[in-house]
A and B are shown apart, each in its own frame.
Chain A
Amino acid sequence: MAHRWGMAVDLDRCTGCEACVTACHSENNIVTVGPEEAARGRAKHWIRIERYWEGEFPDVQVKFRPVLCQQCDNAPCEPVCPTYASHHNEEGLNAQIYNRCIGTRYCANACPYNVRFFNFENPEWDKPLDLQLNPDVSLRENGVMEKCTFCIQRINAGKIAAEAENRALKDGEIKPACVQSCTANALVFGDLNDPESAVSRLSRSTRGSKLLEEFNTQPKVTYLQRESWHDSSQG
C-alpha cells in the first residue's frame, strides 16, 4: 500500500525553542537573506514558530505554534499553478518541481497558511559556509517557489534502505529534520495509511484539530492541544 505521510504537532509539548527551524534551514539548504531583505519580507522559513499571547496582563500565557506546509489533501496551491510545478505526488505530498516553476507566485497567494516562499534572488553563501550544503537537496534559483517537502530526500533514502534490506519500513524510521531535532518530541512524523503508526494514533486523538479547518483543505498535519487554558479558566 502506498504511503501517506502526515505529522502530528503536540502544542502542549512545544517549548518554542526553534531547533526545528534551524534544523530545517541546514537540512534543506534554505538561504538566509540578511537583515535588510528579511525586513522587506523576503525571509524563508519552511517551518516557523508562531507566537500568540492569551489573556490580559498579569494573567497572560504565551502559546507556540509550529507552522509548516500542511500537505493538504485538497490543496489550494495545486490547481492554480498553470504549469503543474505545484502538484500532488503519489504519497500525498504537495510537491514543488523547481524546474517547472515559472514564478507566477499564484500558489503562495492561494495558500491560506502562507507557507510557500519565493526566491527573490539567487541563493548565495559566504565561503566556507557553502561547504556545509546538503548534497541531497537541490538549490533553488531566482524566480521559483519553494516550500516544506517533509524532507522528501530522507523519505526516499529511508525507502531505498528498507528495500535494500528487503524489509518493510518501520514506523518512526524516517524523521524529517524538524522532527529529529525536536527536544520535546512535540513533532511526530509517519505513515497515515498505517493505522497503528504513532502519527495515526495521535491524529485520531480527541485533542486533535486541523489548522483553518473551515477552508476544507484537509491537511495531513494535526495539531494536538488540551482545551484552551483560557477557556477552561473561565469555565
Chain B
Amino acid sequence: MNQRVARLAWPVIIVIVWFMLAPTSSVGAPMSSSWDAKACGRVGGTLVFAQADDPDGLDPHEVTDGFSVNNVSNVFDTLVRFTADSTQVEPSLAESWTVSADNLVWTFKLRKGVKFHDGTPFNAEAVKFNFERQTVEKHPYHPRAVGYADFTFQNVKSVDVVDESTVRWNLTAPYAPFITNQAMFATGIVSPTAVKQYGQDFFKHPVGTGPFKFVEWIQKDHVTYEANRDYFAGRPCVDRLIVRTIPDNTVRLLEMERGTVHIMIGVNPPDYNRIRSNAELVLFTGAGLNTGYVSMNTEVAPFSDRRVRQAINHAIDRSALVNAFYGGVGIPAKNPLPPTIWGYADKVQAYEYSVDKAKKLLAEAGFANGLTTELWWPNRARPYLTQPQKIAEALQAQLAMAGIQAKLVTYDWGTYLSKLRNGEDPMAIIGWIGDNGDPDNFLYALLDKDNAIRGKAQNYAFYKSDAVHRLLIQAQRVGDQATRAQLYEQAQQIIHRDAPWAPLVHASRVSAYRKDAQNYLYHPLEITWLHRVWLTK
C-alpha cells in the first residue's frame, strides 16, 4: 500500500506544483503562428506591391491612413498580432500573457533574443519607451501628431518593467478590447535608439523589429525595403520589397498586366472581369470590415420619430446599390457590424425593401403627403462608398419613390466630418472601417451615448439609448468572448428596432495579384503583410 502511494506521490506533487505556478487567470499561448504555417516555396527575388498613394510617414505612432499602414506593418511588429486570416490575435513580440483576477493588470512575457534592425535589443524597457513616447505629452521624443494612441491605449494607466522580458500593463478599468488594440499597427514597437538618433526625422528613417528593413524612400514614387534575415519568425521569402505609388487604378492594373507590379489594391469594378479573364492574374474578393450607412439625426425632427427612420430603411433597395456601384461584390447591410466580425447578429431580420411599408410608416408619423429633407454625401470616395455622388443620387431617387424629397448636400471630406460631428445634418451618408475586428470598435464608437457629444461626436446619429449603453459597457468589461458576443447580439437587436441608421452595404475588400506571387492573402483588416509571399520566378 505504501509503495503504491509512494509511486503516486511524485506525479501528484508535480501536478500540484504545476497548478500553483499557473497564473491566476490565463490566456493561452499557441506555440506557432498561423503565419509560420505558410512556407516559402522559393526564397529570393523582389516583390512589387502598388497602391494609390505614398505613405504620409513611416512612423507607426503617427500615421492614420491605409497607405502608410501598408508600409509600416512590414517594418514594425506589435506585442500580439492578428492571425493570417482573421481578427483573432496571437503572440508576436510577446510570447504569452496573463490577466489578473480583477482584469486590471495584464502581464506580458516578451520573446527573448529579438533585435531591432539597428542591433538594439528588444526588451521591456523598449516597450515602456514606446508606450510613453506616444502618451506622455512632455516626452522628449513625443511625435508631433499621434493619431491613434487615445484609442489604442484607452483605459491604460501605466506600464511597468518587471524584468528584462516581462512587462506589466496597468489598466484603469477592465477593458476586454485592450488585447486586440495591442495588435494594431499604431502600437508598433520602434527602436528607442533610432528615435533618439533621428528625432523629428524618424518618420523617414523607420527602424523596427519587423520582417523588412527600410532602405530608401523616393517621395511619391516608391519605398524600398530589404529582407530582415534575422527576423524572429523566419526571414521573409523575398529579398526585397518595393511599395510603389501609382495613383490611377487603371494604370496600376496595366503595370500589373505587364509584370512590373505583382500585387495591387484599388481596382475599378469595371475591371473585375478583365482581371478574371486574364490567366496570369487573380482577383481576390472577400468580405470587408466596413459598413456604409445613412445616419439619421435622431435629435431633430423628422428623424426623432422612429417610424420615419424605419420608413427610410424600408425605402432603400440595397441590392440594387450593390449591383450598380459595388461591382456586385458587396453585401447589403442590415446591421452596423459587418458579418466578418464575431458577434455579428445574423438573427436580425433585415428591413424589407418595400415602398408601401415606407409610405405607411410615414403616414402613421404624420407625413402622409411625404416629407422634405436633406441627404448629405461626402465628396470623397471611400471603400464603403465607391462613387459617392452617384450613390447619393440613387438614394435620392429611391427615397423619392416613397414620397421623401431629399435635397443633396455635399462638402469635402474634412468639412463634412466637422459638420457631422456638430450634428448639422438631418441625414448623412457615411461609413466606418473597422480597426481591430472587435465589435466594440463599431458599436461603442458609433452608437453609444458616450460618443454623442456635439463637436466631438462619432455617434453622428446622436443615438442615446441607455439599454444599449449598459450592454456595451458590460461587454467591454467581460473577458470571455462568448458572453461578449451575446451582449452584442442583444445590443444589435435594440439598435435594429430603433433604426438610428439605415445600414447600406458592407463593401468587399478587393485586391488583384499575379499568379507568380504565391501565399498572398488580402487580410480582412485590409492590411498587406507581405513577409510570407514568395515569387515563382
Do A and B pair up? The answer is no
